[in-house]
Amino acid sequence: MPSLTSLKKPERWKYASLSQQESTAVELADTVSISTERRLSKDGIFNAFERASQDTGQSMYESTGTLVGDELTTWDSDEPTQTERQTLRKVCRVSLRSGIIETDGIKVPDKLPASAFLVAVVELCERFAYYGMSGPFQNYISNRYHDPSGNPGAIGMNQTGATALTNFFQFWCYLTPILGAVCADQWLGKYKTIVLFSVFYLVGLVILFLTSLPVAIEGGYALGGLIAAMVVIGLGTGGIKSNVSPLIAEQYQETKMRVKILPSGEKVIVDPTLTIQRIYMVFYLCINTGSLSAIATTEMELHIGFWSAYLLPLIMFCIGFGVLVAGKKKYVNRPPKGSVIMDSFKALWIGIKSKDGLNAAKPSYVNRNPARPVPWDDNFVEELRRALVACKVFLFFPIYWCVYNQMLNNFVSQAGTMQLHGVPNDIMQNIDPITVIIFIPVFDRVIYPALRKAKIQFKPITRITWGFIMGSLAMAYAAVVQNWIYNAGPCFKTPLKCAAGRLPGGRIEHNHVHVAYQTPAYFFIAISEIFASITGLEYAYTKAPPNMKSFIMSMFLLTNAGGALLGLAISPVARDPNLVWLYTGLAGGSVVTAALFWILFNHYNATEDLMNELDAAGDRPILMDEMAASQPRLPVVNKASNFDIGALTKSGERGKRSDMGRAV
């Protein structure tokens, strides 16, 4: 039996009507013409049926595909088998204008390209350097050289000053990605930009190492050297951050779904969206593997000195830079388009001025002045509209990052007031990356596939919402721990600062709460990262226009700068005895953020597949804002409901109905 894609001449098929469970019939299309070019005369149901003879008689088969504009791309080029019909029988795409746009079926991610792992190694080395040198910052800044508390230190600016300075560093590191993104998207491309900004990074690490030597600390050069290093390293890491995230995803070039036969003989749908999700899982796994460097550097600062803690990141970054340069010819690197960012702002300005919004920026806009042509097409405007969706979603992330950043400063200081039993107070923060490393494979290989198999749609907005909730739980638990510290002796609400805590030899006794009680807070933060941070990276990449990946990624990274600004604003409160209220306020703010985020954006889950199809649409844009306007109002199925699609025959007569499953 010939399959849908192997027909030798145009065949005409009659579409059946779509009925909801309430028996509301909606006629979607009259006819469809299928040829070897696989084109359709108009939008319609995405399942076409063919009848053929088998040895046992007449049977009904289905062939499934994706319709974009007036082009049908089928996922299978072979004759549908019984296994395929069982496996893919619920893979049903209906006319975009009908409002039913979900895909229901068994989907799997594709195999990752080798070049993606090469980029991941580069990121691992960079994150090793970043977390290795920033892990000791809180102690380096807050405690005095040879501090009587026994905690290592160099500058002596206390907890408030250290928290403010580390928040400044966070802000600067996540502001500079905009510069790196513009440089990459406009002029140099991602690879050359990463190489250029890596040189700045190296210079900053050298400054930090030299000014952390004992002779430099004793000479009073530590603070000036630290600030100079923060500025230069922040510039370097910003240029890398905005480009390495999209670069790793660009190594995977597929944009359309296809059928794959597993070794078991089962046919499944290879989904590019799930592949990108897995790429960012691997990417984040490498980030957190690199961040374990803080275990080594915090031990080195305690037992050897800060100079050794900053020498190790410098050496590791040199290794990563070598891998980056050596793999130059292996990377897929999209060349810059030159004016794409300026074109985007021009299109946005046209939309702002017009009552028709972004539609007025389209070349096909009927009221456009022909004397003022634009250098973009309709699809560019639709991609820009999709990018704006992502930017709206990003607006809620600063609260989350403010919560996350507590782990990098105030949690470290909190541990410094607890019973340490010989371990450095800043080693506890490594529980977070260890948890992430353990649970990323669990989510990627067990939890997410199980949810897909159970037809539970755990889509981006849902994952981000749960990330915010987990962050709130972390802050609530931190408030509980802080209350335990304040209720424990010897210094109660003034840890390390009371006369009762002074020991012979000038040392100070810590409050009697074991530092291990911090562990659940780091666990909650780690799970929140898997939900919110990884999904944010994925969302920034998949919703960005092809030539603005770095710029939209920089917009997502900018939200971390916003979180650092919030941290700066609340840093005066980050002192005893106010810390219980600080953590309680952050917990409340995070849970309110989660609720508002879900209320405002949960409807984007329903259009997730549609927005992602823009990359596969080519020159045939999917008009998201015109789906309902171009046809009479049709019932939109956005909840689970059964529907039937009538079988289609060559004679055009409506055949027996076949239960195709559910539209989610």
Q: What is the DSSP string of 112-129?
A: PPHHHHHHHHHHHHHHHH
Domain residue ranges of the chain, discontinuous segments joined by +: 4-99+630-663, 114-335+382-612, 340-374
Rg (CA), the chain: 28
* 651 or 263: which leads in pLDDT: 263
pLDDT score of 67 more than 70? no
Q: By C-alpha distance, which of 432, 436, 435 is closest to 415?
A: 432
Give the range among 104-108, 252-256, 342-346, 551-555 with minimum mean pLDDT: 104-108
pLDDT score of 277 more than 50? yes
Residue 615 confidence (pLDDT): 60
What residue type is 655 in one-letter code?
G
pLDDT band of residue 74 (cuts 50, 70, 90) is very low
Across the strands, what pairs with 65? 74
pLDDT band of residue 127 (cuts 50, 70, 90) is very high
- The label of the residue with tokens 């079988």 reads 647
Average pLDDT in the 76-82 region? 36
How many CB atoms are closer than 10 A to CB 47? 22
Signed CA dihedral, 306, 308, 314, 316: sign only: negative
Order of strands across the sheet with 71-74? 47-54, 57-68, 71-74
Helix (H, G, I), strand (E, B) or coil at 55: coil
198 vs 201: CA distance, rounded Å: 5
Residue 339 confidence (pLDDT): 66
Q: What is the DSSP string of 386-431?
A: HHHHHHHHHTTHHHHHHHHHGGGTHHHHHHTTSB-TTS-GGGGGGH
* 40 or 222: which leads in pLDDT: 222
Q: If one looks up domain 114-335+382-612 in CATH, what number appears? A: 1.20.1250.20
Residue 435 confidence (pLDDT): 96
Report which listed range, 81-85, 474-478, 510-514, is most confident: 474-478
What spatial distance separates the first Cα and last Cα of the chain, rounded to whole Å? Answer: 32
Q: What is the DSSP string of 471-518?
A: HHHHHHHHHHHHHHHHTSTTTTTSTT-SGGGB-TTS-BPPPS-BGGGG
pLDDT band of residue 368 (cuts 50, 70, 90) is low
Residue 349 confidence (pLDDT): 86
pLDDT score of 95 more than 80? no
Per-residue pLDDT tens over the stretch 181-224: 989 988 889 999 999 999 999 999 999 999 999 999 988 899 99
pLDDT band of residue 367 (cuts 50, 70, 90) is low
Residue 117 confidence (pLDDT): 92
Cα dist from 387 to 118, 181, 348, 614, 619, whole Å: 28, 15, 11, 11, 18
Average pLDDT in the 516-523 region? 96
Residue 480 confidence (pLDDT): 97
Task: Give yes or no for a cis peptide into 136 (omega within 30° of 0).
Answer: no
C-alpha atoms less than 13 angstroms from C-alpha of 433 in its C-beta half-sphere: 24
Q: By C-alpha distance, which of 523, 514, 513 is closest to 431?
A: 523
Helix (H, G, I), strand (E, B) or coil at 56: coil
Report which listed range, 70-74, 343-347, 486-490, is most confident: 486-490
Both tokens assigned to 272 = 């590019």
Residue 285 confidence (pLDDT): 93
Average pLDDT in the 263-268 region? 78
Q: Which spans in 135-221 are helix H?
A: 137-142, 158-175, 177-183, 190-211, 214-218
* 84 or 347: which leads in pLDDT: 347
pLDDT score of 287 more than 90? yes
Q: 489 near 509, Cβ under 8 Å?
A: no
* 218 or 229: which leads in pLDDT: 229
Per-residue pLDDT tens over the stretch 426-478: 889 889 999 999 999 999 999 998 998 888 888 999 999 999 999 999 999 99
Q: 311 near 297, Cβ under 8 Å?
A: no
Q: 485 near 589, Cβ under 8 Å?
A: no
- With the CA atoms of 427, 433, 434 and 438 taken in that order, what torsion angle do they form, in degrees rounded to the nearest 10? 170
pLDDT band of residue 307 (cuts 50, 70, 90) is very high
For 51, residues 6+ apart whose C-beta sits below 8 A from its C-beta are: 58, 59, 60, 61, 647, 649, 650, 655
* 103 or 557: which leads in pLDDT: 557
566 vs 174: CA distance, rounded Å: 13
Residue 48 confidence (pLDDT): 37
pLDDT score of 660 more than 80? no
Per-residue pLDDT tens over the stretch 136-186: 888 899 888 877 767 788 888 887 888 889 889 989 999 999 999 989 988
The torsion angles phi and psi of 459, rounded to 5 degrees, stand at -90, 175
**491-494 long-range Cβ contacts below 8 angstroms, 24+ apart:** 493/576, 493/577, 494/576, 494/577
521 vs 590: CA distance, rounded Å: 14
Residue 614 confidence (pLDDT): 62
Per-residue pLDDT tens over the stretch 370-409: 556 777 888 888 888 888 888 999 999 999 999 999 998 8
211 vs 226: CA distance, rounded Å: 7
Q: 298 near 153, Cβ under 8 Å?
A: no
- The label of the residue with tokens 């240029």 reads 239
Residue 659 confidence (pLDDT): 32
pLDDT score of 18 more than 50? no
Cα dist from 76 to 65, 85, 335, 580, whole Å: 8, 12, 33, 59
Q: What is the mean pLDDT of the chain?
A: 76
pLDDT score of 11 more than 60? no
Residue 642 confidence (pLDDT): 33
Per-residue pLDDT tens over the stretch 552-606: 999 999 999 999 899 889 988 888 899 999 999 999 999 999 999 999 999 999 8
Both tokens assigned to 396 = 């809620």
Give the range among 39-48, 542-551, 556-565, 611-620 with minimum mean pLDDT: 39-48
